[in-house]
């Protein structure tokens, strides 16, 4: 039987995402590119372990690369970082089509919006993609809620736009390092989910495909 993707080579691996046998070459070249791989796929897990053995660098043309995070920023604003990470993971869990590039685009847009706010200008950078826009909207709604609660309690430790900007670019960089650059990868999303193992909102549905 020939591979349904290339229609040339013999099949040799069962693909949970496609629900059928494919060849090893197409598994390697189309994985997380044209195939939305299941996180439970053994071949995907093996590929990710191999990737983990090779250090990934942030690309030289990465936005905000010139920005330096002030010392202590992440420690001081760890609850904010956790809230943004959880919200991103939550939206991506409810959206099976969401990929790492979607999460990264939303975080980048959030950082760009808050960079303008720091300068005193409000110019919202809303992504065009529906999934990216949903993630971005959930993040901004979270931040608006946090600010309103702080204003209501009259706390002196207010959430500053600059702090939000720095946390957003940190998460954006983390996504670049945790991902693998493949267009349909969910490595970064799965990493965020893994930070909240007890959260019911982030539980993934059990696969319905029975492995042969």
CA dihedral of 103, 108, 113, 118, whole degrees rounded to 10: 130
Residue 205's pLDDT is 62
Residue 21's pLDDT is 97
Query: 120: phi > 0 → left, psi -120 to 50 → alpha, else beta; which?
Result: left
Residue 208's pLDDT is 46
Residue 155's pLDDT is 66
Residue 201's pLDDT is 85
Residue 67's pLDDT is 92
Q: Report the distance separating Cα 35 and Cα 185, nearest Å.
A: 9
Residue 149's pLDDT is 87
CA dihedral of 97, 13, 45, 48, whole degrees rounded to 10: -90
Q: What is the largest CA-CA distance in the chain?
A: 69
Q: Report the distance separating Cα 70 and Cα 80, nearest Å.
A: 16
Residue 135's pLDDT is 98
The CA angle 50-40-22, to the nearest 5 degrees, is: 80
Q: What is the 3-state secondary structure (H, E, C) of 93-156?
A: HHCCCCCHHHHHHHHHHHHHHHHHHHCCCCCCCCCCCHHHHHHHHHHHHHHHHHHHHHHHHCCC
Tens digits of pLDDT across the chain (212 residues): 899 999 999 999 999 999 999 999 999 999 999 999 998 899 999 999 999 998 888 888 899 999 999 888 888 899 999 999 999 999 999 998 999 999 999 999 999 999 999 988 888 889 999 999 999 999 999 999 998 888 888 765 678 999 999 999 999 999 999 999 999 999 999 999 999 998 888 886 654 444 44
């Amino acid at each position: 039987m020939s591979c349904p993707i290339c229609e040339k080579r013999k099949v040799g691996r069962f693909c949970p995402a496609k629900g059928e046998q494919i060849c090893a070459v197409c598994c390697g070249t189309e994985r997380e590119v044209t195939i939305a791989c299941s996180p439970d796929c053994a071949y995907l897990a093996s590929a990710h372990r191999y990737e983990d053995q090779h250090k990934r660098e942030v690309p030289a043309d990465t936005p905000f690369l010139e920005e330096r995070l002030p010392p202590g920023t992440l420690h001081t604003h760890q609850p904010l970082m956790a809230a943004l990470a959880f919200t991103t993971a939550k939206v991506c869990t409810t959206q099976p089509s969401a990929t790492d590039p979607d999460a990264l685009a939303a975080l980048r847009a959030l950082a760009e919006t808050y960079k303008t706010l720091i300068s005193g200008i409000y110019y919202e950078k809303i992504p065009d993609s529906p999934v990216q826009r949903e993630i971005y909207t959930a993040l901004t709604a979270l931040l608006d809620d946090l600010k309103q609660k702080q204003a209501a309690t009259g706390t002196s430790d207010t959430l500053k736009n600059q702090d939000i900007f720095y946390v957003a670019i940190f998460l954006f960089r983390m996504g670049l390092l945790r991902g693998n650059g493949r267009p349909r990868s969910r490595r970064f999303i799965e990493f965020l989910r893994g930070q909240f193992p007890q959260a019911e909102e982030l539980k993934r549905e059990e696969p319905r495909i029975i492995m042969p």
